[in-house]
Amino acid sequence: MRIALAQLNVHIGNFQGNLEKMIAAVGTARDQGADIVCFPELAVCGYPPRDFLEFDDFISLAETSIHRLAELATDIAIIVGAPSRNPVIEGKDLYNSAFFLADGGILHVQHKTLLPTYDVFDEYRYFEPAHQYQTVTFKGKKIALSICEDIWNVGNENPRYTVCPLDEMMGEHPDLIINLSASPFSYRQAEERINVIRANVERYKMPLFYVNHVGAQTELLFDGGSVVMSPDGVVYAEMPYFQESIQTFDLQEVMTQKGPGEQTREKIALIHDGLVMGLQNYFGKLGFTKAILGLSGGIDSAVTAALAARALGPENVTGILMPSTFSSDHSVKDAEVLAQQLGMPYEIIPIAPGYTTMLSVLQPHFGDKPFDVTEENLQARLRGMILMAFSNKFGPILLNTTNKSEMAVGYGTLYGDLCGGLSVLGDVYKTEVYELARYINRVQEVIPENSIVKPPSAELRPDQKDSDSLPDYDILDQVLFQYIERHQSPEDIIEQGFDEALVRRILRMVNINEFKRHQTAPVLRVSTKAFGMGRRMPIVGKYLS
Under rule CB under 8 A, residue 71 binds its own copies: no
Q: Which of 36, 251, 382, 409 binds its own copies (CB under 8 A)?
A: 382
Strand partners, 83: 96
Is residue 401 within 8 Å of 300, Cβ to Cβ?
yes
Q: Which of 195, 263, 489, 496 binds its own copies (CB under 8 A)?
A: 489
Is residue 280 within 8 Å of 11, Cβ to Cβ?
no
Under rule CB under 8 A, residue 412 binds its own copies: no
Write the DSSP string, 394-442: H-PEEEE---HHHHHHT-S-TTTTT--SEESSTTS-HHHHHHHHHHHTS
Smallest distance from the beta carbon of 358 to its own copies, in angstroms? 6
Half-sphere exposure at residue 100, Cβ-oriented, CA atoms within 13 angstroms? 21
Q: Which of 67, 389, 467, 496 binds its own copies (CB under 8 A)?
A: 389
Number of residues that bind its own copies (CB under 8 A): 90
Under rule CB under 8 A, residue 14 binds its own copies: yes
Under rule CB under 8 A, residue 11 binds its own copies: yes
Query: Which residues between 40 and 69 bind its own copies (CB under 8 A)?
Result: 46, 48-52, 54-58
Smallest distance from the beta carbon of 369 to its own copies, in angstroms? 6
Picking from 27, 96, 103, 42, the residue whose alpha carbon sits closest to that of residue 71 is: 103
Query: Which residues between 110 and 169 bind its own copies (CB under 8 A)?
Result: 117-118, 122, 124-125, 156, 159-162
State how far the Cα of 223 lies from the Cα of 211, in Å rounded to an integer.
11
The answer to whether residue 148 is catalytic is yes
Q: Return contacts of 282-290, CB within 8 angstroms, 24+ apart.
A: 282/216, 282/218, 282/397, 282/421, 282/422, 283/311, 283/312, 283/397, 285/11, 285/14, 285/216, 286/397, 288/395, 288/396, 288/397, 289/316, 290/316, 290/317, 290/318, 290/394, 290/395, 290/396, 290/397
State how far the Cα of 476 lies from the Cα of 26, in Å rounded to an integer.
50
The answer to whether residue 149 is catalytic is no
φ, ψ for residue 326, nearest 5 deg: -95, 0
The DSSP output letter for 165 is H
Picking from 170, 286, 217, the residue whose alpha carbon sits closest to that of residue 42 is: 217
Q: Which of 251, 378, 440, 476 binds its own copies (CB under 8 A)?
A: 378
Taking residues 345 to 374 in sequence order and writing x for each that binds its own copies by CB under 8 A, - otherwise, the string is: --x-x---xx--xx-xxx--xx--x--xxx
21, 123, 128, 148: the catalytic one is 148
Taking residues 516 to 545 in sequence order and writing x for each that binds its own copies by CB under 8 A, - otherwise, the string is: --xxxxx----------x-xxxxxxxxx-x
Under rule CB under 8 A, residue 485 binds its own copies: no
Smallest distance from the beta carbon of 60 to its own copies, in angstroms? 8
Under rule CB under 8 A, residue 383 binds its own copies: no
Query: Which residues between 257 and 286 bind its own copies (CB under 8 A)?
Result: 281-282, 285-286
Query: Which residues between 17 and 36 bind its own copies (CB under 8 A)?
Result: 17
Under rule CB under 8 A, residue 336 binds its own copies: no
The answer to whether residue 430 is catalytic is no
Smallest distance from the beta carbon of 453 to its own copies, in angstroms? 32
Under rule CB under 8 A, residue 325 binds its own copies: no
Smallest distance from the beta carbon of 537 to its own copies, in angstroms? 6
Whether residue 48 is preceded by a cis peptide bond, meaning omega within 30 degrees of 0, is yes
Query: Which residues between 413 and 472 bind its own copies (CB under 8 A)?
Result: 414-415, 419, 421
21, 41, 149, 375: the catalytic one is 41
HEC-encoded secondary structure of 75-143: CCEEEEEEEEECCCCCCCCEEEEEEEEECCEEEEEEECCCCCCCCCCCHHHCECCCCCCCCEEECCEEE
Under rule CB under 8 A, residue 191 binds its own copies: no
Q: Which of 199, 255, 268, 385 binds its own copies (CB under 8 A)?
A: 385
By annotation, the residues acting in catalysis are 41, 112, 148
